[in-house]
Chain A
Amino acid sequence: MMKSSILLSLILFVLATVMPPMQGASTQEHSSQSHSMDSPEGYYNEALVAETAGNLPNASLDLRRALVLNPQFAQARDKLHDILEKMGVPIQANWKTQTLSLFSPDELVLVGSLIGWTAAFLVVWIFFTRYCSQKNSEKKRIFLLLILSLLISALGWIIVFLGTIIDPRRDALESVVVIAQENISTSTTTMASPQENLVTTALRSTPIENGPILAQIPTGTLLLLRSTHGVWSYVKTESGLKGWIASSALQPLVPSTK
């Protein structure tokens, strides 16, 4: 009875975490009702339209959004790679992106949780029903089994931790993409590059129009937003450089309605 109830709980756990709130609803209805859900394929299609219209910065933003929603979206990843290459934006690859290409963060968290919880139940079960009631001669063998279960449980939680830290959605709310606009001509410059006209936006050390320029950030670059001050935003680049950039040149990675 106890075993079956635990098994049932674990199954319910999987269903509760995997199943979306409203299964079967159409995308448009759903996105209007639940702001936390969105379609990566929809963003991918919008990126194709933007690319067709020659709007590469917006296409890159849509593809980044699609990849945040589904980090294993191979088509979106390849297309983003192509577009960033055309725009002259450096492509950052680290262990997180490599792991993401192999494992889905949701799957890692789910599998890790299942392993962790199952092993935790096993530890309790073995301790009370086997370890405590056995004679001293057999306790050593049961103790080893207990330690093994504890290690499996710890491994499960390590997998959960890994799935969480590689999840791009963890930082997505604080991430912005540089989309230069025409009205910030004082901050935006255009440089000729072999592929395209590379449009960059100035990263300044002070939040004033003529502040010292730390670097020129290419359009399409992903930045981490730290704070805002008036029309200026304090951002951090992937290389760790921090500075001020015009807020009008930034678009949030997660749409504001989400």
Chain B
Amino acid sequence: MQILSLNRIFHNDRDEETAKAHKVRQFILCAGASYPSSSSSFQRTLLLMIFLRQRLFPLFLGILLFFISPLFAASDVQVSSELSRHRVAAGEIVQLDVTVTGAQEADVPHSIAVDGLQINLAGQSKQVQMVNLSVSSCSLYSYIVIPLRTGIFTIPPIEVRADGKYFRTQPQELIIEGSSASYRSRAQTPLSPNTPGIMPSSVQTSAKNALSSNHQIGFSELSLSKKRLYVGEVVPAEIRFYVDARYSAAPRRNIDFSNEGLLVERLSDPLSSTEERNGILYNVATFRTFVSAVKPGPINIGPASLELAVDLPMASPADMPDVFAQLLGRSGGITQHRSLTLKSNQVSLEVTPLPGEGRPDNFSGAIGEFKIDAMALPQKYSLGDPITLVLTIEGDGNIKAIGMPQLTETEGWKIYPSTDRIGEADAAGLHGVKTFETSMITQEPKTSTPGSLFSYFNPTTGKYVTLTTKPQPLNIIPSTTSPLPPSPVETKITASSSPKALPSGPPALATKTQPLSHESLKSWQPLLYRTQYLIASGVLLALLVLLTAYLGFEWYEKKASLLPEQQLKKLWSELQEEELSPQIFFNKAALYAELLLKQDPARFAQLEDIFKRRDEIHYGARERVLRAHERAKILEKLTAAQSSDHS
């Protein structure tokens, strides 16, 4: 029961607590049974206090620290960048480190564009520290800077997004000088298997733990397959932790394996096994990873350390009955919780820069031994159909860092961004296959796809190798209709005409749809919100207002001109009435005459008698009688005046 393998205990805190509670119950039961006298309660209390002090106090302290630690957590985010060297000879590689402190997460660019330099992100590491109750995290992003020519370069500020905010680093100046003799001498000395630095077998230096009391309980080993390597070369590393199989152990925190100047990939899941050393059976947890150096020179790797919580058996009470001792073992089921740190050996590495001479222009950092294969799908196509060029790179080395090979003879092709995937890695993880798929369309009758160029550095021979793939032959399917205009959805099944199928390729290639060769422009804004619509609507509204004003004014004028005529018409009809009194008749006749005079004052001579007669009727002494002939004469004058007006 006490033997628990290392990897099983990584995530079983709950089991551990259950086991602890069980042991407490066993312990109290044992104490009660052993001390039946009056002192039994005292002994039980004493043992319980010892147990609480040993077990619960650290637990309480841990919980307290867990809850108060965020109060002291550093919240300021700081971003900085640093070059490993500011002045180097041509051909040497420089490391650019971007450090992000105090951020939970950060996004950095994968590459930085500087004319004359090739800067690519090579890897990252993260470190979380807790000092004086203050929790701080630090992420280190390492870029490899490959000079392409000599000169003085300024690496621009790098924009880093950390915790949702954007930060910029300071610009860095880098001077690339002409090839130095020292550099050349180093570069022209390639590493070979016969070089003493390279050990064909693994370096396995056992480092027993420094604690004298722990050396029998556990130890750890770090081993690498090579001690001399090139910058960027990937080397497998293995860390093994040995714990005496008689004790149960659980890790207290993650493995500490931070190394300056080295990129370390994420550790694999542990492989558990048992191994006998010096007659003692050990539980072994083996972690595998890959390391690569980012700068030349001597580098020490390790140690890798792991802090464990080990249950050590305590001596049973002297007067424990045999029956319990037999049931619970020599310790009586009582164990002591103890911290143990396993620290591995260090390994010294000699890192050599990549040679500058013979470096191809399209070299993108691939180091190892690779081969490349090309395939076009489909091999028969109609104009406008997408063709997928599949480039497969297989080999041993930094397969993940390999970039898209350079395409040649691309005239007449519209090439879309390529996608890549990694597959078929071996158990060690060093051998792998990376597949690049590039979709391309042509409107010209092409008989072959573009070719490709891929360069890598072979660390065994110490030379650069450039591989090429020839343009893949294509056959055009004669079409009776023009493929250019957009057709309704056209789905067709393409039989796999290639000699070999895609390695776990996307199923979408089997069923495809014609792309559209014409493109129209549409706005992201609704028509109602567009400026031209609003302006046009405003113009129309102004026109409507103007039209309303114009027609309204016209109508008003017309109405005003019609008013006197209506009055004349009304007065004339009233003057025709026989029973009007002389006063009223002459009043109306005078009013009628005034309206006519308003239209034409020159008629006054014709109408003057009407005004005189009206005044005589009102103020004179003459009789107020209106005779028929006089009435007719007045009306005749008014008619004559009006008719003269019309004439």
Contacts and interface: CB of A to CB of B under 8 A. Distances in A.
A170 B525 CA distance: 7
Tell me the interface secondary structure of chain B in the complex: mixed
A159 to B, nearest CB: 12
How large, as a class, is the contact surface on chain B?
A: 35 or more
Contacts of A101: none
Interface string A1-29: 01001100110110011001100000100
A169 interface: yes
B551 to A, nearest CB: 4
A103 interface: no
A169 B529 CA distance: 10
A27 B522 CA distance: 10
Interface string A230-258: 11000000000000000100000010001
A39 interface: yes
Interface string B529-571: 0101101110110011001101110110010000000000000
B74 interface: no
Q: Is the interface of A mostly helix, strand, loop or mixed?
A: helix
A113 interface: yes
Given A13-B540, A16-B535, A36 B515 contact: no
B110 to A, nearest CB: 13
Contact of B488 (A17, A27, A74): A74
A97 interface: no
B524 interface: yes
B527 A17 contact: yes
B513 A79 contact: yes
Contacts of B548: 124, 128
Contact of A164 (B386, B488, B526): B526
A83 to B, nearest CB: 10
B416 to A, nearest CB: 5
Contact of B551 (A10, A125, A163): A125
Contact of B524 (A2, A37, A46): A37
B488 A75 contact: yes
A204 to B, nearest CB: 17
A69 B515 contact: no
Given A41-B518, A75-B513, A124-B551, A53 B508 contact: yes
B516 A20 contact: no
Contact of B386 (A17, A30, A48, A121): A48
A10 B536 CA distance: 9
B449 interface: no
Contact of A128 (B486, B506, B552): B552
Interface in A108-134: 109-110, 113, 117, 120-121, 124-125, 127-129, 132-133
A75 B486 contact: yes
B15 interface: no
A39 B520 contact: yes
Contacts of A106: 526-527
Given A13-B539, A42-B519, A169-B526, A124 B547 contact: yes
A231 B528 contact: no
Contacts of B544: 117, 120-121, 124
A119 B528 CA distance: 19
Contacts of A247: 164
A203 interface: no
A203 B320 CA distance: 58
B552 A230 contact: no
A220 interface: no
Given A9-B539, A49-B439, 4 more contacts: A20-B521, A54-B507, A121-B547, A160-B528
16 contacts: A5-B543, A17-B530, A36-B524, A37-B521, A39-B520, A46-B416, A49-B417, A121-B543, A121-B547, A125-B551, A128-B548, A128-B551, A129-B551, A167-B527, A231-B105, A231-B163
Interface of B: 105, 163-164, 386, 388, 416-417, 419, 437, 439, 441, 486, 488-489, 506-509, 512-513, 515-516, 518-528, 530, 532-533, 535-537, 539-540, 543-544, 547-548, 550-552, 554-555, 558
The 5 closest A-B pairs by CB, nearest first: A54-B506, A128-B551, A69-B522, A53-B419, A39-B519
